[in-house]
Structure 1
Amino acid sequence: MVKAVKKTSLSEILRFRQLFLHEANMQFVFNKCHDYGWADEYACWLGKTIIGYGAVWGQDRREDRDAIFEFYLINTYRELAPLYFPLFIRATAATHIEWQTNDPLLHPLAINYVPDAVTEAILFEDHRSTDLPDTGLTCNRLPQEAGDRSDEWKFELLHEGLIVATGGVLFNYNFPYGDLYMEVPEAHRRKGYGSYLIQEIKRQVYLHGRVPAARCNPDNTASRKTLEKAGFRTCGERKKGLLTISGKAENVS
């Protein structure tokens, strides 16, 4: 049967996206690209049947579509991935791939096409509960104000009435994940404030029926240690690189 990769709509491949997210079982940092209209979707056809999909977005500009970030074939046809992926590359004319190393299908494909990938972020998953002492600390969730994002919670950490750390969580990724972040001013670092704040935000995220996740810059050793102290562990990396081959913007069969 004829194999083809053709541009399609999100609604046409949404059922396969749900399978992808279920199978991957991870926070997918590119998920919002579909929701915000930043991506183009492509269907993988085998004869007259769609067996999977891929997606591209703009690595630097929202209006571009030069970077592959998602690729999935249903399990029944998974062995055809090495055949469909080059077709997908040529159909999209993509020049780069951005991916997570904990993506079970795209990662092994990407490393064959991007020999000089760079790590843009370290990805973390929650691993254990912690019971760090408060030592006189108070963690407050800030009330929503006019102009605030509806998918974000903000927190502050106080010590003797002074703000010693701030942070929050974003719920704009795939359910059930929440993406945690924090910031500790230089004068208050190396005192355990960041880890305690992350611990308390984690607690609130779970009470909300969500699962905490996090990221940090690969060179930010302090943030990495802070997240690990609060119970997170490394689960992957976000990588990016130039494709060794590129194709024409056309449907390929």
Structure 2
Amino acid sequence: MEIKVSKCGLETIQPLRALFLHESNFQFVCNKCHDFGWADTYLFTTEGVEIGYGSVWGTNKREDRDTIFEFYLLPPYRRSAHLIFPLFHAACGATLIECQTNDPLLTSLLYGFTSNIQAEAILFDEDYTSTLAIPGVTFRKREETDVMGDDDSTYILERNGEIVASGGFVWSYNMPYIDIYMQVKEAFRQQGLGSLIVQELKKEAYLLKRVPAARCNISNHRSKATLLKAGFKVCGYRLKGTIQ
């Protein structure tokens, strides 16, 4: 089987990418790379038949193209992934692979073709609806009169007229997912406020017709505990490895 790898525009691989997202059924952290034009894409063909694609972007500098973050093959061709991947690597010249562990194909290639593998982030998706409540604390949308400083969050927790926590959404995930973020003012931490605002943001996400998701740094144990308490579960990890 002769494989051709050719650089192409995003529109060329969009039908294949739709299959990838449909099959994966998870929040894809690097979706924004396509939305903002930070990625190059490559089409894989054999005898004129389109069988897959790959994407690269810059891990530290957006203008670089040093990192493979997508690699998709139609099911009949996946047994040849270990043969097709080196051709893609040779064409794009990347030195790193980034992947989510809930993407089994690229994860298997990361373990097969890279070294110095590190986990960088924990990924979370919906598990159950929590019923947290703190007396005297209210959740609401930010108003123009709220004094927020540099904080541009859309939602707040308020107690006795004081803003104690804030949060909102990052809209760069693939449909229908949305990324939740939050912060609690230092003086009010370890009181359950983080989990409470995450719980309420999950409700808002559904009202926006989106599925809530979240992530945190691999070493941020407090954020992990906060998200789990608010009804999330760990669904994967973000890994990075150096191509050998």
Same fold (TM over 0.5): yes
Task: Report sequence identity in percent.
Answer: 50
Assess, with a 3 A threshold, how the Cα gap between structure 1 residues 50 and 105 changes in structure 2: closer, same or farther: same
Q: Is the 8 A contact 1:153 1:170 kept in 2?
A: no
Partner residue, 1:88: 88
- 1:69 alignment partner in structure 2: 69
Tell me, which stretches of 5 or more residues in structure 1 are unaligned? Answer: 146-151, 245-253
Counterpart residue number, 2:101: 101
Distance in 2 (CA, whole Å) between partners of 1:87 and 1:135 is 60
> Aligned runs of 1:106-185 on 2, under 5 Å?
106-142=106-142, 154-185=154-185
Residue of structure 1 equivalent to 2:148: none
Tell me how far apart the structure 1 counterparts of residues 239 and 210 of structure 2 sit (CA, whole Å): 26
Is the contact made by 1:119 and 1:240 (CA closer than 8 Å) also made in structure 2? yes
Which whole-Å deviations, capped at 9, do the CAs of 1:178-205 have from their partners, x for residues lacking one?
Answer: 1001111221111100000000000010
Partner Cα separation in structure 2 for residue 178 and residue 143 of structure 1: 22
- Which string of whole-angstrom CA distances, capped at 9 and with x for unpartnered residues, describes residues 58-104 of structure 1? 11111111100000001122212111111111110110111111112
Partner of 2:44: 44
Contact 1:141 1:153 in 2 (8 A): no
Aligned mates of 1:109, 1:177 — CA distance in 2: 26
C-alpha separation between the residues in 2 aligned to 1:178 and 1:166? 17
What letter matches 2:183 in structure 1? E
Query: What TM-score do you get using the length of structure 1 for normalisation?
Result: 0.90
**Offset at 1:153?**
6.5
Secondary structure of the 1:29 match is coil
Q: Distance in 2 between matches of 1:3 and 1:18?
A: 22
Contact 2:102 2:235 in 1 (8 A): yes
Residue number in structure 1 paired with 2:194: 194
Residue 50 of structure 1 deviates from its aligned partner by 1.1
* Mapping for residues 219-238 of structure 1, pairs under 5 Å: 219-238=219-238
Equivalent residue of 2:26, what SS?
coil
Measured in 2, the distance between the counterparts of 1:209 and 1:115 equals: 40
* Offset, 1:123: 0.6
Superposed displacement of residue 143, structure 1? 5.2
CA shift for structure 1 position 240: 1.3
8 Å contact 2:153–2:166 — kept in the other structure? no
Mapping of 1:200-215 within 5 angstroms? 200-215=200-215
TM-score for both structures, normalised by structure 2: 0.94
Secondary structure, counterpart of 1:105 in structure 2:
helix
Question: 2:28 — aligned with what?
Answer: 28
Question: Taking CA–CA contacts closer than 8 Å with sequence separation of 6 or more, which of the two structures ends up with the larger relative contact order?
Answer: 1
Deviation per CA, 1:105-154, whole angstroms, max 9, x where unpaired? 11111111123211111111110011112311111122589xxxxxx972
Paired with 1:120 and 1:154, the residues of 2 have a C-alpha distance of: 27
